[in-house]
């Protein structure tokens, strides 16, 4: 998501989670996302969190790029 006025739909988010699961990534793979703070995007964020939790991914959401990179680099 690039911060534009586009909101991911639930089907796309579920598909994204399933794709990551099927990709055969290493067990310690982590990914970080930077999400805009507008209300519409926050609704998608709640769904994304649910998908990530259900798929067992090590993922976090950040409000800025620097924090995301710091977490990935730790």
**Residue showing tokens 């976090």:** 60
- Tens digit of each residue's pLDDT (9 = 90 or more) over 10-65: 788 888 889 988 998 888 889 898 888 787 777 778 788 888 888 888 888 888 99
**What is the extent of the structural domain holding 67?**
10-18+30-73
Helices (H) and strands (E) in the chain, counts: 3, 2
Q: How many domains does the chain have?
A: 1
pTM of the model: 0.62
Q: What does residue 58 show for φ and ψ, rounded to 5 degrees?
A: -90, 90
Asked whether residue 23 is domain-assigned, the answer is no
Asked whether residue 25 is domain-assigned, the answer is no
61 DSSP β-pair partners: 33
Task: Measure the CA–CA gap between 1 and 33, rounded to whole angstroms.
Answer: 9
Asked whether residue 36 is domain-assigned, the answer is yes
Asked whether residue 59 is domain-assigned, the answer is yes
Asked whether residue 48 is domain-assigned, the answer is yes
């Amino acid at each position: 998501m690039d911060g534009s006025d586009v909101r991911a739909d639930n089907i796309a988010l579920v598909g994204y989670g399933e794709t990551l699961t099927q990709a055969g990534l290493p067990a310690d793979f982590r990914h970080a996302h930077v999400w805009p703070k507008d209300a519409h995007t926050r609704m998608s964020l709640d769904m994304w969190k649910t998908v990530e939790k259900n798929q067992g991914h090590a993922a976090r959401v950040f409000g800025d790029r620097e924090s995301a990179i710091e977490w990935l680099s730790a």
